[in-house]
């Protein structure tokens, strides 16, 4: 678990490349937990499309249900790749996303 904590820590590194790499690795490992989800959700609010896209892809792989409120606004993002990644993240939740979508 200590290695996952180190990777999660990289989500807050000042270097863009390390943040992207951390998001990719967390998604590939299927790492879960509140610190992982929280770190990835924080990237969604960065306004940097490359970070948003990789965070969305990671969330889609590990389970995006709890992150849906942070994902929904990105469905209308200016960058096409962010909109597409947000759509994939919502779709990864499946039917469980429907009640949350109806609420919004």
Q: What is the pLDDT of residue 98?
A: 62
What is the Cα–Cα distance from 24 to 47, expressed in whole angstroms? 18
Rounded to two decimals, the pTM is 0.90
pLDDT given for residue 66 in this prediction:
85
Of 96, 104, 39, which is closest to residue 73 (Cα–Cα)? 104
What's the average pLDDT block by block, 10 residues per block, for the chain (104 residues)? Answer: 90 96 96 94 96 97 88 94 95 74 63
CA angle at 79 for the pair 70 and 73, rounded to the nearest 5°: 20
């Amino acid at each position: 678990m200590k290695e996952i904590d180190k990777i999660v820590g990289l989500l807050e590194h000042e270097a863009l490349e390390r943040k992207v790499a951390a998001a990719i690795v967390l998604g590939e490992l299927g790492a879960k937990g509140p610190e992982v989800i929280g770190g990835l959700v924080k990237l969604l609010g960065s306004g940097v499309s490359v970070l948003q896209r990789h965070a969305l892809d990671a969330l889609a792989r590990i389970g995006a249900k709890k992150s849906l409120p942070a994902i929904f606004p990105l469905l209308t993002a200016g960058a096409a790749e962010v909109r597409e990644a947000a759509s994939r993240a919502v779709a990864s939740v499946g039917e469980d996303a429907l009640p949350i979508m109806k609420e919004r």
